[in-house]
A and B are shown apart, each in its own frame.
Chain A
């Protein structure tokens, strides 16, 4: 299982990559493996204002649908359009496949998120 240094993580298995005031958000390798074949991804529309922990989308495998929660508050500026036709990208490259990009309204929230090593520990506990 892959975990990438330099990203922020959540207990719900989302990752955050910060670029300036923007945060790119996706789900982790651990999450995609647990879900299995991902067949549908539904995302919030551009312009949506989200508070931390609100649902920004749903990722669906053959077996089940799972909500995804925004790790940091902000406004959705972009969504990954490739996912509409090819949701399996999340399985193939979970860390290379961001889902939404938000312009953060409170960068302090980042401090509440997990580091790569803390997230790794979390995953090994669950195992």
Chain B
């Protein structure tokens, strides 16, 4: 074995008693004494540590480095920002893969390309030949730079303990950073080859590798050999060169687009230009598009594709075994084995991963492109045809921190009302509704910041006659813009709506309000649609161009879902033709306070991207938004943009205790009327345009995008309720808003004193809004929220800006608004903070204490309690 190459960690593997094998000319550990099964499961449940230093590492620099990489790789290198990585292919002229690779950009002017060990020499020869046509340089750094992967749910905690800065990377796949581990510089990437949503690859100087390797093992990572690396990647459906890429079992080239990941790894952007294999790849891509639309008439350019396969019958499908459908051979297994998984209990977010293991026989197969998901097929194993199925996937990583095995024969169980007759069902519904009302209104403490109970007046008014009626109306120019209603019997509604508009204008101190939208999300949709229409108004005969760039708060930093491309922006946001990504830029945040926008950096980004629309506002919000500073900057720079403030979460705080959006320079405010505001569940749009303004036409477009653009009948019942809520707000807001902010600050301080980890800036008592964020430990947010709910305290679990998503959330988002409205003051919030610490830190049962506390605060404040009003409400109630 002395001709085999060895990584810098070779002696560590021997020390750990690894079973060493020849892998692509390298002497590598196939497994350690724990064995492949345990190593696989430990990666899924805790953390696995992999020596991947055998892979090739090439550094590309020089004036034409980007142009060179655009030519020899399939992905769009211009889409790669600094501190990002991308999956890519090294193509040949036929649209096959010489190799698959990962491209990392740790530094502005330097790219790091990581290729497969077995292909490294071949890749090097190819790349050094092609680079001659470019003013660029390629260097082989495989010897000086070692590479270690740590993958699995615990990997972040393990690295966090050892890192100088606990912030490792952005919590998004393919993010990069440069950190210090054990006083040594480490390039860290949120990438991996296991399907784990939490996993990192580290590049360290070769002389530091053994030390860091040992340290990671000492801190809980299990060394994992190539055997489990293969089962992990197989379960994740990731291709392995020589199996799913390269040549198939018949020595035919596998088209790159046969691999599902190709759609992320191949670009045809104009900015990328021509490159090796582009023509062949384009033909494959066109075939793929037809296949996706289930047009199988012309699949010659992509006859077979790699799909997951799961065995129903006994046996193991090994690479090369034939796959049949209806007795006809349709392809071959490319990889297959028996992989372990841990059994689970319960469903949804309450799923518990047990220690009990089981095995399943799965694989990947290169099969005819017209084979659909869930197809029943057979695999020929030693002469026997064994039943199998084509599942959509074997594993999902979209509920971090765990990658979760998906069993194709899983059936969901859900509770249903099995009563024999509808009278019983009706009675059950009434009873459950009554109990739920009692529980939420009299026995529980609600700290969900986006909720608000209504006063009796608002509630009653919302369910009176108008809730059965229809109204549609439109301003008519012939009548000097007087609103014309389309339904008879709606004069009352006309009046209510007019009064509501006036009341809200007063509240915001602005010139225009649109009240017909029935949710905050709809308000945003109407505004985005209007801004896009306004942009294209000069020529409506051509295809309207979308908005770009748009600036917003990133969702992981608390940005509101309604202002994201996945939310209301979806149909209105352009794609940047250079990067092929949504034309979005995010507000940068302060390094030492990631909850707050960095104004100076924001100005730089605005100057660079000149966004057409700037959207302030968040759903996880601790600070005022710097509306005034940004307004001054865009005016000074003469940047043509629209400044909008999505106040959904803070609508009821608009005013002197928080922010006056229009006085600070916002043009448009949207929001939902039921979070901090007192209203029914609706939306509003407010604007501050004068009739003579150039942009008044934008406001008129907003109105037409509300009706007929978004709603016809606009839920009249809740509109009457909202008018009452607006009266209450305008009457009580000084006292209410002051108490909200003061109590939130006080509550935050008490939670901190009670021993909890309160996020934010202690110098301002953590918050300037109604919200308080409490960190409870990575990935435990949902569990803590469940425990609080069992104790009648209702909160949101919340992912902080460091976390991957709501299932990995390690924080709780609390809001004081509803309880302030029920009369909670400092004394009660202090008591509540201690009770919550008892639950969160000491797992105590406090249900009775919570019930007792709540029972003293069931009467709503900040609403009218005058005798005549109560009498009037009784009159209304009697008519129900």
Chain A residues with CB under 8 Å of chain B are 36-37, 39-40, 42, 58, 60-65, 84, 88, 91
Q: How far is the CA of A91 from the CA of B34 in the complex (A)?
A: 12
Q: How far is the CA of A62 from the CA of B335 in the complex (A)?
A: 11
Q: How far is the CA of A88 from the CA of B358 in the complex (A)?
A: 11
Q: A84 contacts which chain B residues (CB < 8 A)? A: 314
A63 contact from B337, B359, B361, Cβ within 8 A: B337
Task: Write the chain A residue with the least CB distance to B359.
Answer: A39
Q: B36 contacts which chain A residues (CB < 8 A)? A: 36-37, 61-63
Decide if B231 is an interface residue (CB 8 Å cutoff).
yes
- A65 smallest CB distance to B (angstroms): 6
Task: Write the chain B residue with the least CB distance to A91.
Answer: B35
A60-B316 CB under 8 A given contacts A36-B19, A39-B337, A39-B338: yes
Docked-complex contact B231 and A62, CB < 8 angstroms:
yes
Docked-complex contact B30 and A63, CB < 8 angstroms:
yes
Docked-complex contact A62 and B37, CB < 8 angstroms:
yes
A40-B338 CB under 8 A given contacts A62-B227, A65-B318: yes
Docked-complex contact B19 and A62, CB < 8 angstroms:
no
Docked-complex contact B361 and A36, CB < 8 angstroms:
no
A37-B315 CB under 8 A given contacts A63-B30, A63-B337: no
Docked-complex contact B314 and A42, CB < 8 angstroms:
yes
Residues facing A in B14-45 (CB within 8 A) are 19, 30-31, 35-37
Docked-complex contact A65 and B31, CB < 8 angstroms:
no
Docked-complex contact A39 and B316, CB < 8 angstroms:
yes
Q: How far is the CA of A61 from the CA of B37 in the complex (A)?
A: 10
- B284 smallest CB distance to A (angstroms): 32
Decide if B477 is an interface residue (CB 8 Å cutoff).
no
Pull 18 A–B residue pairs with CB atoms less than 8 Å apart, ordered by A: A36-B31, A37-B35, A39-B37, A40-B314, A40-B315, A40-B361, A42-B315, A58-B382, A60-B316, A60-B338, A61-B36, A62-B36, A62-B231, A63-B30, A63-B36, A63-B230, A63-B337, A88-B37
A37-B37 CB under 8 A given contacts A62-B231, A62-B338: yes
Task: Write the chain A residue with the least CB distance to B361.
Answer: A40
Q: B337 contacts which chain A residues (CB < 8 A)? A: 39, 62-63
Q: A39 contacts which chain B residues (CB < 8 A)? A: 37, 316, 337-338, 359
Q: How far is the CA of A84 from the CA of B315 in the complex (A)?
A: 10
Q: Which among A62, A65, A84 has the highest number of chain B CB atoms within 10 Å? A: A62
Q: A60 contacts which chain B residues (CB < 8 A)? A: 316, 338
Q: How far is the CA of A65 from the CA of B382 in the complex (A)?
A: 11
Q: Which among B227, B314, B318, B337 has the highest number of chain A CB atoms within 10 Å? A: B337
Q: B227 contacts which chain A residues (CB < 8 A)? A: 36, 62-63
- B545 smallest CB distance to A (angstroms): 54
Q: How far is the CA of A9 from the CA of B315 in the complex (A)?
A: 27
Q: A42 contacts which chain B residues (CB < 8 A)? A: 314-315, 382
- A20 smallest CB distance to B (angstroms): 32
Docked-complex contact B35 and A36, CB < 8 angstroms:
yes
Q: B315 contacts which chain A residues (CB < 8 A)? A: 40, 42
10 shortest interchain CB distances as A-B pairs: A39-B338, A37-B37, A62-B36, A37-B35, A37-B36, A60-B316, A62-B337, A40-B316, A39-B359, A63-B227
Q: How far is the CA of A40 from the CA of B30 in the complex (A)?
A: 19
- B338 smallest CB distance to A (angstroms): 4
Q: How far is the CA of A62 from the CA of B234 in the complex (A)?
A: 12
Q: How far is the CA of A64 from the CA of B230 in the complex (A)?
A: 12
Q: How far is the CA of A44 from the CA of B697 in the complex (A)?
A: 83
- A86 smallest CB distance to B (angstroms): 10
- B404 smallest CB distance to A (angstroms): 20
Q: How far is the CA of A77 from the CA of B766 in the complex (A)?
A: 77
- A25 smallest CB distance to B (angstroms): 19
Q: How far is the CA of A37 from the CA of B35 in the complex (A)?
A: 6
Q: How far is the CA of A63 from the CA of B359 in the complex (A)?
A: 14
Q: A64 contacts which chain B residues (CB < 8 A)? A: 318
Count the A-B residue pairs with Cβ separation under 8 angstroms: how many? Answer: 45
Q: How far is the CA of A37 from the CA of B231 in the complex (A)?
A: 12
- B670 smallest CB distance to A (angstroms): 55
Task: Write the chain A residue with the least CB distance to B226.
Answer: A63
Task: Write the chain A residue with the least CB distance to B384.
Answer: A42
Q: B31 contacts which chain A residues (CB < 8 A)? A: 36
Task: Write the chain B residue with the least CB distance to A62.
Answer: B36
Q: A58 contacts which chain B residues (CB < 8 A)? A: 382
Q: B382 contacts which chain A residues (CB < 8 A)? A: 42, 58
Q: A63 contacts which chain B residues (CB < 8 A)? A: 30, 36, 227, 230, 337
- B344 smallest CB distance to A (angstroms): 19
Q: A91 contacts which chain B residues (CB < 8 A)? A: 35
Task: Write the chain B residue with the least CB distance to A39.
Answer: B338
Q: B35 contacts which chain A residues (CB < 8 A)? A: 36-37, 91
Q: Interface code B224-251, partner A: CB below 8 Å = 1, 0 otherwise? A: 0001101100000000000000000000
Q: A39-B316, A65-B318 are in contact. List 15 more A-B contacts (CB 8 A).
A: A36-B19, A36-B30, A36-B227, A37-B35, A37-B36, A40-B315, A40-B361, A42-B315, A58-B382, A60-B316, A60-B338, A62-B228, A62-B337, A62-B338, A88-B37
- A109 smallest CB distance to B (angstroms): 25
Q: B339 contacts which chain A residues (CB < 8 A)? A: 62
Task: Write the chain A residue with the least CB distance to B36.
Answer: A62
Task: Write the chain B residue with the least CB distance to A64.
Answer: B318
- B44 smallest CB distance to A (angstroms): 15
- A124 smallest CB distance to B (angstroms): 18
Residues facing A in B320-338 (CB within 8 A) are 337-338
Q: Interface code B305-322, partner A: CB below 8 Å = 1, 0 otherwise? A: 000000000111010000
Q: A65 contacts which chain B residues (CB < 8 A)? A: 316, 318
Task: Write the chain A residue with the least CB distance to B339.
Answer: A62
- A91 smallest CB distance to B (angstroms): 8
Q: How far is the CA of A23 from the CA of B35 in the complex (A)?
A: 31
Q: How far is the CA of A88 from the CA of B359 in the complex (A)?
A: 11
Q: How far is the CA of A84 from the CA of B313 in the complex (A)?
A: 12
Q: B361 contacts which chain A residues (CB < 8 A)? A: 40
Q: How far is the CA of A42 from the CA of B315 in the complex (A)?
A: 8
Q: B314 contacts which chain A residues (CB < 8 A)? A: 40, 42, 84
- A90 smallest CB distance to B (angstroms): 13
- B246 smallest CB distance to A (angstroms): 20
Q: How far is the CA of A92 from the CA of B339 in the complex (A)?
A: 19
Q: A37 contacts which chain B residues (CB < 8 A)? A: 35-37
Q: How far is the CA of A32 from the CA of B231 in the complex (A)?
A: 19
- B312 smallest CB distance to A (angstroms): 14
Q: How far is the CA of A60 from the CA of B228 in the complex (A)?
A: 15
- B407 smallest CB distance to A (angstroms): 17
Q: How far is the CA of A109 from the CA of B537 in the complex (A)?
A: 95
Task: Write the chain B residue with the least CB distance to A88.
Answer: B37
Q: Which among A37, A60, A91 has the highest number of chain B CB atoms within 10 Å? A: A37
Residues facing A in B33-73 (CB within 8 A) are 35-37
Q: How far is the CA of A47 from the CA of B726 in the complex (A)?
A: 87
Task: Write the chain B residue with the least CB distance to A55.
Answer: B382
Q: Interface code B536-550, partner A: CB below 8 Å = 1, 0 otherwise? A: 000000000000000
- B310 smallest CB distance to A (angstroms): 15
Task: Write the chain A residue with the least CB distance to B231.
Answer: A62
Q: B30 contacts which chain A residues (CB < 8 A)? A: 36, 63
Q: How far is the CA of A48 from the CA of B338 in the complex (A)?
A: 27
- B469 smallest CB distance to A (angstroms): 66
- B525 smallest CB distance to A (angstroms): 51
Task: Write the chain A residue with the least CB distance to B381.
Answer: A42
Q: How far is the CA of A63 from the CA of B315 in the complex (A)?
A: 14
Task: Write the chain B residue with the least CB distance to A58.
Answer: B382
Residues facing A in B764-802 (CB within 8 A) are none
- B562 smallest CB distance to A (angstroms): 47
Residues facing A in B197-228 (CB within 8 A) are 227-228
Q: How far is the CA of A96 from the CA of B278 in the complex (A)?
A: 60
Q: How far is the CA of A36 from the CA of B29 in the complex (A)?
A: 13
Q: A36 contacts which chain B residues (CB < 8 A)? A: 19, 30-31, 35-36, 227
Q: A88 contacts which chain B residues (CB < 8 A)? A: 37
Q: How far is the CA of A30 from the CA of B318 in the complex (A)?
A: 24
Q: How far is the CA of A63 from the CA of B39 in the complex (A)?
A: 14
Q: How far is the CA of A61 from the CA of B361 in the complex (A)?
A: 12
Q: How far is the CA of A63 from the CA of B230 in the complex (A)?
A: 9
